[in-house]
Amino acid sequence: MKQDSYRYSNFNGSTKAIAAGAGNGVLSFTGNDLPSTGVVAYHFATSGTTANSLSLVWGARGRVKCDGQTIYDLDVTHYRKWLERFTQANYGPVTGIARWSIWFNFMDIVDDNMADVCQLPGGTVPTVEFDTNANVLFAGTLMAGWTQTTQDCHFTPYLYEQALNIAASATQSQYPITAPGSAAVRAVIIPTGNIKTFRMELNQFCYVQSSAAAYTGGANAGDLFLEMEQIEDGTTITTHTAHRIPMVSPAGGVSRLLLDTGGGWATTDAMTLWLARPVGA
């Protein structure tokens, strides 16, 4: 790890046209627009304020790909919760904001030299895609910029949101936890409502367990999650929680999520894993 590394930013990136009412139209930046080597963040800004905002331009889904392989894939709520929990300022951007960033480093680590050992895979062809919302109010532009580092790359990040397909009022339903290569889990993001019990096992060791013996539809395990994380969390997004995991690989043993759910749980409710994969592994 370089002790004298530094960051530098470029805000003269290309722009893409935003079409009014562009529901499910994919707005894409490619390797012709964005670098990949040493990249710790991409930055975006739209014309207008709420007319072409984060929730409208990001729409149903945002993705980052490198050489065609998807490394980030999540909706706006999980993206905002991830930022709110792990940025140094506990910053959760509001849905109506007209600027946002996608970070690839360990943004929860204060020291820049250490944080920036995690980067976008260098030398790859990047693609950033936003599934625009049908409520985009008027035609405009989306501009891209980026921040790079001279730090050596030791890890590449992954941020995957996946629908759990667990039914309402389920008992001990499980979802397998996997990771590419020897990637380690840094965090899990999950909706807190209608969770009666929660258990997360990584490589046969339990890292989180919560339960509510007398669940009545009021206080539940989700409330306990929110309280547990409050010491480091912000307060913008109270429907989801993000829990830090100490870089544990799910490979080599039983790794799974076990849930008891309440009546309001939906099969589309999703979990996001934040992962870090050692370079070359």
Domains of the chain with CATH codes: 7-153 (2.60.120.730), 158-278 (2.60.120.730)
**What percent of the chain is modeled with pLDDT above 90?**
61
Q: For residue 232, what pLDDT band results from cuts at 50, 70 and 90?
A: confident
Q: For residue 190, what pLDDT band results from cuts at 50, 70 and 90?
A: very high
User: In sequence order, which residues have a C-beta less than 8 Å from that of residue 123 and are 6 or more positions away?
Assistant: 36, 37
| pLDDT digits 0-9 by tens, 246-263 | 899 998 889 999 998 888
- Where is average pLDDT lowest: 60-69, 114-123, 137-146, 224-233? 224-233
Contact 74, 32 (CB under 8 A): no
- Where is average pLDDT lowest: 28-37, 68-77, 131-140, 175-184? 131-140
Is the predicted pLDDT of residue 212 greater than 70, yes or no? Answer: no
Q: For residue 174, what pLDDT band results from cuts at 50, 70 and 90?
A: very high
CB-based contacts of 202-208 (< 8 A; 24+ apart in sequence): 202/177, 202/245, 202/248, 202/249, 202/250, 202/255, 203/248, 203/249, 203/250, 203/251, 203/252, 203/253, 203/254, 203/255, 204/253, 204/254, 204/255, 205/248, 205/253, 207/245, 207/246, 207/248, 208/243
Res 120: pLDDT: 97
Segment 169-183 mean pLDDT:
92
**pTM (2 decimals)?**
0.93
Contact 57, 105 (CB under 8 A): no
Quickly tell me which residue has 């995690």 as its tokens: 118
81, containing H or E segment = helix 76-86
Res 14: pLDDT: 87
**Phi, psi (5° rounding) for residue 279?**
-60, 130
Residue 49 CA to residue 98 CA, distance in Å, equals 5
Is the predicted pLDDT of residue 226 greater than 80, yes or no? Answer: no
Res 211: pLDDT: 65
Comparing CA positions, the residue from 232, 224, 231, 155 lying closest to residue 190 is: 224
The widest CA-to-CA distance across the chain, in whole angstroms, is 57
Q: For residue 156, what pLDDT band results from cuts at 50, 70 and 90?
A: very high
User: In sequence order, which residues have a C-beta less than 8 Å from that of residue 84 and are 6 or more positions away?
Assistant: 90, 91, 92, 233, 234, 236, 237, 242
Mean pLDDT of the chain: 89
Segment 150-174 mean pLDDT:
95
Is the predicted pLDDT of residue 119 greater than 70, yes or no? Answer: yes
Comparing CA positions, the residue from 175, 171, 151 lying closest to residue 273 is: 175
Res 204: pLDDT: 82
| pLDDT digits 0-9 by tens, 127-154 | 999 999 888 877 889 999 999 999 999 9
Q: For residue 48, what pLDDT band results from cuts at 50, 70 and 90?
A: low
Is the predicted pLDDT of residue 208 greater than 80, yes or no? Answer: no
In our burial notation (b when 16+ CB lie closer than 10 A, e otherwise), range 46-78 reads bebeebbbbbbbbbebbbbbbeeeebbbbbbbb
**How far apart are the two ends of the chain, measured CA to CA in Å?**
18
Residue 62 CA to residue 243 CA, distance in Å, equals 22
